[in-house]
Amino acid sequence: MPELGLRIANLRCRVAGNEILKGIDLTVEPGRVHGLMGPNGSGKSTLALSLTGHPQYEVTGGATLDGEDLFALSPDKRARAGLFLSFQYPASIPGVKVANFLHAARQAERPGDLPPAKFRALLLEKMEQLGIDPSFMGRYLNDGFSGGEKKRLEMLQLAVLAPKYAIMDETDSGLDIDALKDVGRSIAALRESDEGRNTGFLIITHYPRILQYVVPDIVHVMIDGRIVMTGGHDLANRIEREGYDKIRDDKHRTGAVV
């Protein structure tokens, strides 16, 4: 029986020669919601992209997904193993239609599970849940999309792919309250569905606001490439009150649980 969870052990990552991640240990268990907070430049997005397999990141240490060695897999195989990243800055690909892309992704991750008509129905249902206009399907992937539209499309992909583990990289940035509520509802809907009941979430954010709509079981704080504090939902509230400076000052309490 493999050890379940997205398990990260002593992960270090260099980007263009600079060490950004300085030894991360973190486990996201199935069905749990983890918040990962930290100031700009602390390495949160680097963690997300290094787990996903960004080609320019040099990574050492280990990461397993339900026992499978992630770093032995190419990015597409990591996705097929059940890892999903909601990108902070998703690429735009003019000429690739949203519907075709989503179908290709679903086919890659769950080959042959849905005939095209059923897939279309699923897509329409998820789009309605997210308040996305059906005309989205015929648009080119992220091409000319507003910031909010890009985030909604990432959420739609999350809903359609129903991964085992989802990393949400600053999904809240640039969203208004209504859009944020849609994100919260969409994650809740996935967690209530058969496909997504056991999905583990790592929600990366810079502001605690999103964590009011998706209540985390555990909150981690990352500063300067290290996790400096882990706690319950209260930790997010404390950051809202005190900011990151106080925690930076208390850095000697690395790993302390409040």
Partner 1 sequence: MSSALGSRAGSHDLYRRLDAFDRSQFGLEQRYRALDRFFALPSGREKPGRFWRVDFETIAPPAAQIEPGAGTASITSRDPAAVVCDLATAAREHPQLLARAFDTSGIAATKFGALARAFTGLGFFAYVPADHACDEPIEIRYDSPARAAIFPWTVVLADRGARVTVVERVRGGPGAFVCGATEVVSAEHADVTYAAVQQADADARIISSRAARPGRDSRMAWSVAELGGELSAGDLHVAIEEPGADARIAALFFPRHAQHVDLVSTVEHRAPEATSETLVKSAARERGQARFLGNIRIAPHAQGSDARLRDDALLLSPLAHVDSVPALEIGANDVKAYHGATVGAIDAEQIFYMESRGIETSAAERMIALAFFEPAIECFPSPELRDEIRAAVAEKLT
Find where tokens 């990108």 sit: 87
Position 118: which residue type?
A: K
- Contact at 8 Å (CB) between 58 and 14? yes
Which segment (28-36, 60-68, 82-90, 248-256) binds partner 1 by CB under 8 A? 82-90
**Distance between CA atoms of 114 and 160, rounded to whole angstroms?**
11
Integer Rg of the chain from CA: 18
Is 96 a binding residue for partner 1 by CB under 8 A? The answer is yes
Residue 139 in contact with partner 1, rule: CB under 8 A: no
Sole window of 75-83, 126-134, 145-153, 189-197 interacting with partner 1 (rule: CB under 8 A)? 75-83
Q: Binding residue for partner 1 (CB under 8 A) from 2, 55, 112, 144?
A: 55
By CB under 8 A, residue 90 contacts partner 1: yes
Q: CB under 8 A: which stretch of 1-9, 77-85, 186-194, 239-247 binds partner 1?
A: 77-85
Q: Are 82 and 163 in contact (CB under 8 A)?
A: yes
Locus of tokens 């787990």:
51
Residue among 54, 181, 238, 248 that touches partner 1 (CB under 8 A): 54
Segment lying near partner 1 (by CB under 8 A), choices 103-111, 128-136, 232-240, 243-251: 103-111
Extract the tokens encoding 85: 């990243």
From first CA to last CA, the distance across the chain in angstroms is 33
C-beta atoms surrounding 120 within 10 Å? 15
* From 127, 161, 210, 227, residue interacting with partner 1 (rule: CB under 8 A): 161
Total binding residues for partner 1 by CB under 8 A?
28
Closest CB to partner 1 among 100 and 237?
A: 100
The token duo for 80 is 């097929």
Q: CA–CA separation, 223 vs 242, rounded Å?
A: 15
- The contacts of residue 70 (CB under 8 Å, 6+ apart) are 51, 53, 63, 64, 78, 81, 83
113 binds partner 1 (CB under 8 A): no
Q: Which stretch binds partner 1 (CB under 8 A): 13-21, 32-40, 85-93, 237-245?
A: 85-93
For partner 1, the closer of residues 79 and 229 by Cβ is: 79
Residue selected from 15, 105, 122, 188 as contacting partner 1 according to rule CB under 8 A? 105
Q: How far is the CB of 109 from partner 1 (least distance, A)?
A: 4
Q: Pick from 5, 38, 53, 200: which binds partner 1 (CB under 8 A)?
A: 53
Task: Determine if 85 is a binding residue for partner 1 (CB under 8 A).
Answer: yes
Q: Which residues contact 194 (CB under 8 A, 6 or more apart)?
A: none
Taking residue 210's Cβ as centre, other Cβ atoms within 10 Å add up to: 24
Helix-helix angle 147-161:98-109, to 10 degrees:
30
Q: Which residues bind partner 1 (CB under 8 A)?
A: 52-55, 74-76, 78-80, 84-85, 87, 90-91, 93-96, 100-101, 104-105, 108-109, 140, 157, 161
